[in-house]
Amino acid sequence: MTKKLLGSKVVNEIIINSKKECSELKEQGINPQIAVVRVGNNASDISYEKSIMNFMEKADISVKSIVLDENIKEDDFIKSLKEVNEDESINAILVFRPLPAQLDEDKIKYIISPSKDIDCFSPVNMAKLFISDTSGFYPCTPLGVMEMLDYYRINPEGKEVVIVGRSLVVGKPLSMMLLDRHATLTICHSRTKNLKEVCKKADILIVAVGRANMVDKEYIKKDAVVIDVGINFYDGKLTGDVDYESASEVAGMITPVPGGVGSVTTACLVKNVLKACKQKNG
Ligand code: NAP
């Protein structure tokens, strides 16, 4: 029978461990605090911010919410970001992206302090990922995938792993993390030929495409592990990139959507805040 890989169990473990670490830091007079920088009042940003606050609260981490006008000029945005960079009481910064059109992300990513950049916005952290320098901050969605694999004792070493999707947010950084863990890797994208056949070779199939229910049992080897990173609204429902019912007929283990990787991503932010705090305080 197919095993459902639930994100909630992974989240619980991360929160329990983080709360303990946070209380140890507080005993030494260190107060972890994240600044969340939001431009405008986009509904999905507000909803993500609420979920971040909820997770941080569970781990006893303080949150400073910085809300800027949606029409803010680039110079003013940069000034605010520099203030947060320099604020000694803040250990970690998360800037909601995408930023509005008047703010050039390619310029701003060089301004966020790499030592506080817990979601790998800065090219310094992206470069550290590619050279396996673990002092950097890896992006939280691929980290969430790795946490899922580790929690359920799925060792990628020597396995055929296929990732569908090569974005900078998921596919590319995840490929680096899996190479570091000695997986044999194939990365697919919109120009990949014979996608079904390529996916069918995978012992571990990870899908991050953004197309509801695209992957069904025809793409999956018997007993493979299937990790669905997709989050789509389809027919008024939250739906993954994998057709769960169909895939469950052949997969050995599979993450549901909702209830799979999504919440683990936010829990990984908590881990990264504590990492930033510990690194700053030696
Ligand atoms: P993205 O930047 O749009 O990248 C999508 C990738 O899928 C691209 O590499 C694209 O190929 C590939 N692709 C598109 N159509 C394809 C097809 N028919 N066959 C094979 N590959 C195809 O998306 P993303 O930001 O990586 O997000 C992917 C999914 O993950 C979305 O559903 C998103 O909502 C979800 N997501 C979840 C979390 C979370 O759990 N917290 C976080 C981030 C994203 P090309 O490169 O050739 O265009």
Give the pLDDT of residue 1.
86
CA of 265 to the centre of ligand 1 (A): 16
Buried b / exposed e along 166-176 (16+ C-beta atoms within 10 A): beebbbbbbbb
Q: Which domain holds residue 234?
A: 140-262
Residues in the chain, overall count: 282
The type of residue at 98 is P
Q: What is the pLDDT along the chain (282 residues), one digit of tens a residue?
A: 899 999 999 999 999 999 999 999 999 999 999 999 999 999 989 999 999 999 999 999 999 999 999 999 999 999 999 999 999 999 999 999 999 999 999 999 999 999 999 999 999 999 999 999 999 999 999 999 999 999 999 999 999 999 999 999 999 999 999 999 999 999 999 999 999 999 999 999 999 999 999 999 999 999 999 999 999 999 999 999 999 999 999 999 999 999 999 999 999 999 999 999 999 998
Q: Are residues 202 and 252 in the same domain?
A: yes
- Let me know if residue 96 belongs to a domain: yes
Q: Are residues 155 and 216 in the same domain?
A: yes
- Let me know if residue 11 belongs to a domain: no
> Is the alpha carbon torsion for 185, 190, 191, 195 positive or negative?
positive
Is 167 near ligand 1, meaning CB less than 6 Å away?
yes
To test ligand 1's pocket by mutation, which of 163, 231, 270 has the most ligand atoms within 8 angstroms of CB? 231
What are the DSSP calls for 8-46, one per residue? HHHHHHHHHHHHHHHHHHHHTT---EEEEEEES--HHHH
Q: Are residues 106 and 37 in the same domain?
A: yes
What is the CA angle 257-121-7, rounded to 5? 20
**Which numbered atom of ligand 1 lies nearest the CA of 266?**
41
Q: Are residues 106 and 160 in the same domain?
A: no
In this structure, the residue with its CA closest to atom 8 of ligand 1 is: 165
Q: How many domains does the chain have?
A: 2
CATH classification at residue 157: 3.40.50.720
- Let me know if residue 71 belongs to a domain: yes
CATH classification at residue 99: 3.40.50.10860
Give the pLDDT of residue 11.
98
Cross-strand partners of 215: 242
The two counts, helices (H) then strands (E), for the chain are: 10, 11
Query: 151 with 16: CB under 8 angstroms?
Result: no
Residue 207 CB coordination number (10 Å): 27
Q: What is the pTM of this model?
A: 0.96
- Let me know if residue 40 belongs to a domain: yes
Distances (CA, A) of 180 to 4, 122, 184, 189: 26, 21, 10, 21
Distance, CA of 132 to CA of 139 (rounded, Å): 13
Cross-strand partners of 38: 67
**Which numbered atom of ligand 1 lies nearest the CA of 211?**
32
- Let me know if residue 14 belongs to a domain: no
Distance, CA of 198 to CA of 189 (rounded, Å): 11
- Let me know if residue 196 belongs to a domain: yes
To test ligand 1's pocket by mutation, which of 97, 105, 189 has the most ligand atoms within 8 angstroms of CB? 189
